[in-house]
Structure 1
């Protein structure tokens, strides 16, 4: 319900407005009156009306002056000008200048005036809904300091030299302090042996538990600490916040004993959740404006896992110092390596390809350290360029077809070891080699072979959930391209393709009396028996039990 104020110096017009419309039907429950702008201003500040209908020309203070002053205190109040024909252009200019919703022209036309007022009420409802939503959001935000902390970390990560009022930190931590120290960190979790295998059970709850233990190991003397994190893909960016009296007491190198405790903690947590867990610690700081650089340094430090496979924790400052003092030797593919890569692509021989990639990986590890990781990235780019040139030369399309991770090198984030990374590249080479050796260089021929390979992959994992993303990763395709390919070439989407394979397998299993129907449900990857029966019927027009009977079992 809404409150209306009518400001008009002619009593008969005020009275007429009060009774001209069925105000309760348009949800106006209270009407207050003022005879001039000065009284209207005082009454508005006291009663806080939602809607004001006011004349322009009045003694003491005109309507526009009143509106201008009311809006300072009541910015959400809606104003409608009541004007005669002589002031019509004046009213229009006021509306264009802002602060006024509409006007009503004297003498009033009932339907037109009612429509104008109803439109104003609708805008008030919309504004009230927005305010209620905002209020609810603010309440939720107050209840969830973690969410606000996550937004803060995201902001610090994305914006250079972000200025943050430290009073916000006090509100987030509910621990106002004279000073704060921040410990930046990045955590990543990856499959044990290779990328794109079954996802681990590591999640937000496990991350929270681990980080609390990690913070206690790093700062055993501080019982007041908060952890804010922001998740991006398989990385957790964050900072431990320590309220302190003097920041100089905490700033300094990370305690070696704490590091010795934290590395085994990472290994234990990783083993428990069947994942390779790595953590990099940035330099402690009392200056939040440096957080973006410190988080990025920590992120880069995670690549040390390629060179120290027995470690799970890395200290960014130590690696940064090593990078500054080391003189990295130039590494590149020699002509013999290039010829061997092309030979493997031409033969499609999996054993030879894997052996070559193992040798290349070991060669890099023997020639480089973390301090020269950028040289390793350049080497990888060169290797991929050789493969792409081979593909283009032989009519095998790359752009828009294969995963962008290959082309922009972001695939390096998906592997716990350099050997696993090169093994993945080797499998991509084998895939391209198969396309080449079978003479499948035309679009339609390439499409045929990929559908056959996907069907084989799904059958091998028939009892598991196999998503489009998993298939795209397995065969190095861009998932969007693969989705379009199903629709264009098979006139069905990926899910229909998988469903038909599952039901075909179910039909084969139902012909074997040693399997119960419920067993077949599980064997085909369905967790819900009801859903299995419904899907089976949609494909075969009969239930699994009826199909078994029809087959003579």
Structure 2
């Protein structure tokens, strides 16, 4: 699946072209829109885009500057310029960039523009297929045969000694990375059953990274079967790659592996840190993956910043215990809402019943544990009954018995607690199919709650849910019959109507509904209602 970005400071041109491209490509191409050069650059800093169709003369940043800024981020992107002026001086400057792929005049008509973008989209797809077949794969594979280097790094990442010990035992170790600079870690999980398939997936991923992102220096490892680790630094020594940028890079990599090679790899993107802390970082990213993995057969991609605070604790053992208990609550909540009765029982068995020193819960933790169970059961039984359920007698009775029992019978109470959790999972599975409606409700609620957020987009929703953007787009359309962009537009329209009826200025309404300019908002409003904001205000406030 390719992504097309349309950039023009005239909203009617962007909206008109977007409508035609969406109708032309359906769900096969993601169409992003921007009404300014600076906003387009922000999109490119956080998203992998294949083709950019951009105006030349824009007030805040012209198309030539946008192309130049993009070259450092995405060196293989296709830039096509669209202008109302026959500016040959501009063409001469733009054509010096390897990103330049053509120049069109607006007066040439829509069909010429559509056909040109068809060619660029097709060329991007062909390039993606060709990159998997190039000799770079063999070069990367040969390099991976440096057994000692990989074994040393993999052992170090797994916690097998300090970096100083590794350097002492292998004084001639050759490194692509610079151990004196911060390094970012990205964790991948391949669900393929065969070890040979894991190696193939890693080789394909390395080939794509090397071909498409030469501005990144990296080492790839497989510390455990089916677990990949990429250690990354920027080719330029000044700054490590930003987490948001790595998220966009691996989002694109993940989608290409899935679409082109049928290799589903889930990803956790970590922050950059000291080289000597890689073992701790590997442990953290694995714990984040275990926390958020819902075993729903989907592509998972999350970042460290979203979940690390739930897992990391420093200082006293009491503080660490609180963080560990928070992680337990998070995991139990996730499992009861999305897992099976068996997965809940396994988690409780591992945590409490099979542990050499099972954790002793204080009264506050007991209360939190039962409150979680009570809240989840209330939600699930409310879905079953269509109304607020009556008092949960089984849960309250067990909680009262738990408080009276003391530590001597904690395990007995936990067995009964586990049975209730398993019963809750079974009831939830009866109420929903693969949690589809729950996910749709969560997406719609997020849209409603963030309708004033300028960054409300497919990318933001994908990061909120942990879905890959392309997968999320298809998932929503298949299960609701409408596009996510239409749902976002509808939420913005309803919010805008409310603000306009209250007498809010159009400029403020545009800002509060995430539009780059009042003119873009007015065009959007009139296209969806048939009237201008002023006409709507007058009709709603007739005396």
TM class, shorter-chain normalised? 0.3 to 0.5
Higher relative contact order (CA 8 A, sep 6+): 2
Larger Rg computed on CA atoms: 1
TM-score (structure 1 length as normaliser): 0.32
